[in-house]
Amino acid sequence: MFEHEEAGAKSETRFWLFREGMRLTTTLYLGAREGMKLTTLYLGAREEVRLAILYLVAIAGAEVVTNFFSLVVGVICHTILLAVLIVHSSLVGESPSHKLLLALCLAPLTRIMSLSMPLAQFSPIYWYLIIYPALFLAAWVAMRRLNLTASEVGLTVRKLPLQLVVALTGFIFGVAEYLILRPEPLISELYWGAVLFPAFVLLAGSGFVEEFVFRGVLQRASMGALGRWGLPYVALVFAVLHLIHLSAIDIAFVFAIALFFGWVVYRTGSLLGVTLSHGITNILLYLIIPFLLPAVGWSWETVLEGMHPALIIVLSALATAFLLALGLALESWAWKRGW
């Protein structure tokens, strides 16, 4: 009898979580819709702008449900959002809105694939190996459906000196994000044999595939619909999907990095530099720094005592600006020499 009562209690709990999650998602959607009406009346916003803001709020709402209420209900919300985006994109016809909505499908799809696969029995590093090939395939299909060429989404090599300098920013970002998040390493020991394969997986997965999805396909479609505002829009979407770390300062930091990456791709037309930077960031964050900093005997707690996390972002921005200026100087020098 007690087993039946316990099962009934668990069922009621699941139903309550589902009901509250759907209620929150519905509230966010209705609030966003009313906000869009006011925006339309006051600013005369175009359809593309209204849809972009509406679905950004919906993605954020699904992330709130996922991280603060229930993972299962959050996945359901993302799945519903994905279905709505697919249907909506098919109803608007061939227009910038169609391309934006179709590309936005990749955002909830990224979260669904990362949360719904039964990967608990695998080492975390193999999660990337399983998830990211499927995500790359989905992004490639979206690219072809949007009639985008490989060069239009940054799958080319241009302005190599600047790309290499951009890659160096990964060392800055990796150290800065470690100081913000302090994550556990993905490997048990630090030696070449343990690092090489996970480093390749992080570079190809979180580095190349995520940049292809967000700075490649999604940014291209967003800028086609929103103009230059598509760049910060994609940065916002990318930052919202990092709510999983439950750190406001990390979301701000990721947004700043995403803006920088988006600008580099817009400026150079290539994903090379940001792919290397993103990959190096995660290699340092999850494989190297958790072992390296304690090993050298520095007391970072003492060094950083009293330092506000925002200062880390400011220092990272200054260092990045210096490297970017160096890269632009190298690019100008290479251009004058005819390289």
Query: What is the residue-wise DSSP string for 63-78?
Result: HHHHHHT-HHHHHHHH
Given 116, 137, 160, the domain boundary residue is 116
Q: Are residues 201 and 106 in the same domain?
A: no
Q: Are residues 319 and 305 in the same domain?
A: yes
Give the range among 89-93, 99-103, 237-241, 298-302 with minimum mean pLDDT: 298-302
Q: In a 10 Å sphere around its CB, with 0-12 CB exposed, 13-18 middle and 19+ buried, how is residue 124 labelled?
A: middle
Spell out the residues 6+ positions from residue 46 whose beta carbon is closer than 8 angstroms to its own.
none
Q: Are residues 299 and 320 in the same domain?
A: yes
pLDDT at 234 over 60: yes
d(CA 239, CA 255): 5
The C-alpha torsion from 231 through 169 and 247 to 190, rounded to 10°, is 140
pLDDT 10s digits, 131-189: 889 899 999 999 999 999 999 999 998 888 888 888 999 998 998 888 888 888 888 88
Given 60, 90, 116, the domain boundary residue is 116
pTM: 0.78
Q: Are residues 234 and 305 in the same domain?
A: yes
Note down the domain range covering 337: 121-339
In total, how many domains does the chain have? 2
Given 116, 149, 175, the domain boundary residue is 116
Spell out the residues 6+ positions from residue 281 whose beta carbon is closer than 8 angstroms to its own.
170, 173, 174, 177, 257
Q: Are residues 145 and 260 in the same domain?
A: yes
Q: Are residues 34 and 59 in the same domain?
A: yes
